[in-house]
Structure formats: C-alpha cells, structure tokens
Amino acid sequence: RSPLEPKPRALLLLPFYNHTYLLSTLLPVTGVLDDCLCDIDSIDNFNTFKIFPKIKKLQERDYFRYYKVNLKRPCPFWAEDGHCSIKDCHVEPCPESKIPVGIKAGSSTKYLKVANSTKELEDCEQANKLGAVNSTLSNQSKEAFIDWARYDDSQDHFCELDDERSPAAQYVDLLLNPERYTGYKGSSAWRVWNSIYEENCFKPRSVYRPLNPLAPSRGLCLEKRVFYKLISGLHASINLHLCANYLLEETWGKPSWGPNMKEFKRRFDPVETKGEGPRRLKNLYFLYLIELRALSKVAPYFERSIVDLYTGNVEEDADTKTLLLNIFQDTKSFPMHFDEKSMFAGDKKGAKSLKEEFRLHFKNISRIMDCVGCDKCRLWGKLQTQGLGTALKILFSEKEIQKLPENSPSKGFQLTRQEIVALLNAFGRLSTSIRELQNFKVLLQHSR
C-alpha cells in the first residue's frame, strides 16, 4: 500500500451523509455564504440528492462527452516554456470515425431541428458549411441562419472561443481524458495562476501573494468581489479534482488513482493554509451558485420545441433532452438562488463601464488558458473557463432570453454546441467537486 493511500479504502464507498459537526471541527466550511442568502448545508443536500446523479448521467451522453478544442493555440502573453512531457499530461484526440455523424456534420446550428432536416447528413464535408441546411427551407429561414451566424461572430463573448473550423481543432472524448493529477507543477503552472490573480483579477489592493490572499475583501464593490470569488472558486474546484484523482502508486505500468489526504490538507487545511483553505472552499460553493443560477435562467431556451440536441441517434437525442430539461426543473426548484440583478445596478454609465471591464478581465483569463503547458490541464481549464463564461453570458442576457421565439432562431441570444457542452460539463465538474469534498470530510473524520 502506498503511504499516500487513505485507509481504509472501503470508506470511498460510504454514502455521503450530512456531517455538520465534522465540518465545524475539522474543516470549518459552514454557515451562510457572503453576498447571498444561501447556506452550505442546503447546497450539499441539494447537490447530493438532486443534481449530482443526473448531471453525471448527462455527461455520459454522446452529445456532451465530445468536445471540440484547439490545444495547439500559442500562448498570447509570453514565450512558452515547452509542453509537459509527463505521460499523464497527454490528451488522446478522438478519431473522426468515432464521432457521431450528427455532431461532426455540423456547424453550431446543428442542435436545432430546423437545421437537422438534411437527408441523414450524407455529406459531412458539405454539412459543415452554414448553407448545408435542407434546400426546402424557405429563404426567410436561410436568411435567419445567416443573420444568426453574423450576430454570433460579433457578439460580446465572455470567452475567447476556439475556431472549430481550424485544422488544429480536434474532438476529445472527455470520458476517456478525465481531469486528474498529472504531475504538472512548478514555475510554469505558477505563472499561469499568478497572471490570473495578479493581472486579470479584481482583488483587494493589500493582497500580493496570488495563491494565498489572506486579506479580507474590504474596499471592493459587489461586482469585483463576485469576480474574485468566481476565479478563486474555479481554482479550488480544479485543486479538489487533482486531490481526489491523484496517482497513488503505479505497479507494473498499472496506475492506481484515488484521494490523496496529504495533498488535500496542503491545499485546504485551515492550519496549513493559515485559514485560507476554508475560504477557497466557500468560493467554490459561491461559483456553484452562480452556475446553478445560469442554468435556471437559460431553461426557456432549451424548452423550445425547435431545440434538438442532435447526434443522429433519434432515440438517444430525445432521452438526452428529457434528462437535460429534468435537470433544469431541479435548478429552478432551488429556493436560495444568487440574485444577479444586484450586480451592475448603479448609474447606467458606471454600470456599463464596470460590466465591460468585468467581461474583458474574464476574456483575458480564458486566453491565459492557452499558456498552460500540460495538455490535459489546458483541456479542462479551457472547458471550465468557457463554461463559466457561458454562464455569465446567460446571466447578463435575461431580456434576450425572455424574448426568444418558439419556432425560429433568435438574433438576440444563441448558444453554440461548444458553449452548451462546456456549460453543462463545467457545472458537472463543480457538482463533482462538492461531492468529492463530502468524501474528504468522511476520510478526515476517520483519520482522526
């Protein structure tokens, strides 16, 4: 047995009960979150019993498991240090032959039923073009698609999106390339997070060390506090995944992955982090609330009959949409949502300027993900920042979503398949993080 392996391993199979007493004594992450009226125990229970089982199942569906990404884009900010040579950093792209025909056929319009009326997508190359909709479509419908694409290319994204038409963009099977500890660390990894916190993140002026911001966030307005918490929460979530899927030992070329208590304590223990660890975990819960709110707000977009999560397998596509709508119903039932209307609510000129600063800061962070030297870390970093960027886009498009037509594309608000896949997988990662945290609480209890 590896010295890093928690004992006993059987504990990993225990159900996740409410351990409020354990939190307060070993890992003080309890109570109401700042800047919203939601308590952590409520989120734990909601995630464990309603969200996690369904989102995990959704991520296994073909529509959501294949993600097209360009992992070869150069870093726009500094000369690259070279790519990680550790084998676990490698990402295995998915052969075109393995991609469902309805996915690889298509432009971003392909999840709409009106765009899926080509005769079984016989020619995938031609179907890649925007004009490859059924010739029986009216000229008005064709013009709507052209206008939509033109709008989508010019609208204000919160993320730097990969060009899916680039020869360097490849499909990746997310289930075969899971996020876990790869051994990527040191100056290259530090520079990425340092750049995010020091140059692109609103934070208290007194904070210097990016990974250990001890000072309280006094002096920051709500919007800037929210931004900082989102980035900190994303960082905490990624760290939790690495701690929970750590290479414990490798015997005869067969790796053994599992939770690493020593690594978890190093990153989150109140004593070892001088009190900062619990704050990071609270920011994870805050990020979960933000993305949960976005899912509840975007539900009307997917509830329209025109939206069809198209892979070419009619029966599975219908089941996938039913499951997705079921998840949306759950998100809408949550009673303590974050109120995004409290943001950018000042005078119109100042609010507009702050919102644009907010957007540009986040867009810059999405570009920094192209500077990550480990391909697997880059993959999941890009997906999760794009998912959060899509959530922000949704939260700031409420009026456009309310005006969506039932049976035709809308110029006011659209989501590409890439954004949809990133949004749901990013939220799935947060749901998994909170579930993994419950596991560590159980392990902490039994290690004392």
Q: Average pLDDT, whole number, for the chain?
A: 81
Is 188 marked within a binding site? no
The reply, when asked if residue 267 is annotated as ligand binding, is: yes
Q: Which amino acid is at 7?
A: K
Is the model more confident about 146 or about 10?
146
| Residue 42 is assigned to a ligand binding site | no
Top pLDDT among 354 and 390 is at 390
Query: Looking at residues 189-211, what average pLDDT do you find?
Result: 69
Q: Is the pLDDT at 266 greater than 70, yes or no? A: yes
Strands 254-258, 66-70: pairing kind: unpaired
119 Cβ neighbours under 8 A, 6+ residues apart: 134
Question: Is 201 labeled as catalytic in the residue annotation?
Answer: no
Q: What is the pLDDT of residues 45-62, one digit of tens each?
A: 999 999 999 999 999 999
Active site residue 371: no
Please identify which of the residues 38, 84, 371, 374 carries the catalytic annotation. Answer: 374
Give the pLDDT confidence of 362-413 residue by residue, as tens digits. Answer: 999 999 999 999 999 999 999 999 999 999 999 988 889 988 988 877 778 8
Percent of the chain at pLDDT > 90 equals 50
193 is in an annotated binding site: yes
Q: What is the mean pLDDT of residues 117-146?
A: 42
- Please give the average per-residue pLDDT across 318-327, as a whole number: 98
**What's the mean pLDDT in 236-242?**
96
Percent of the chain residues topping a pLDDT of 70: 77
Q: Which pLDDT band holds residue 218 (cuts at 50, 70, 90)?
A: low
Residue 208, pLDDT > 60, answer no
Query: 86 pLDDT exceeds 90?
Result: no
What does the pLDDT look like over 101-111, one tens digit per residue?
Answer: 999 876 444 55
Question: By mean pLDDT, which of 30-34, 323-327, 344-348, 437-441 is the weakest?
Answer: 344-348
3-class secondary structure per residue, the chain = CCCCCCCCHHHHHCCCCCCHHHHHHHCCCCCECCCCCCEHHHHHHHHHHHHHHHHHHHHCCHHHHEEEEECCCCCCCCCCCCCCCCHHHCCCECCHHHCCHHHHCCCHHHHEHHHHCCCCCCCHHHHCCCCCCCCCCCHHHHHHHHHHHHHHHHCCCCCCCCCCCCCCEEEEECCCCCCCCCCCCCHHHHHHHHHHHHHHCCCCCCCCCCCCCCCCCCCCCHHHHHHHHHHHHHHHHHHHHHHHCEEEEEECCEEEEECCHHHHHHHHCCCCCCCHHHHHHHHHHHHHHHHHHHHHHHHHHHHCCCECCCCCCHHHHHHHHHHHHHHHHHHHHCCCCCCHHHCCCCCHHHHHHHHHHHHHHHHHHHHHHHHCCCHHHHHHHHHHHHHHHHHHHHHCCHHHHHCCCCCCCCCCCCCCHHHHHHHHHHHHHHHHHHHHHHHHHHHHHHHC
Please state the domain extents for the chain.
29-105+137-202+219-447
Q: Which pLDDT value is given to residue 204?
A: 53
pLDDT over threshold 80, residue 438: yes
Q: For position 79, what pLDDT does the model report?
A: 87
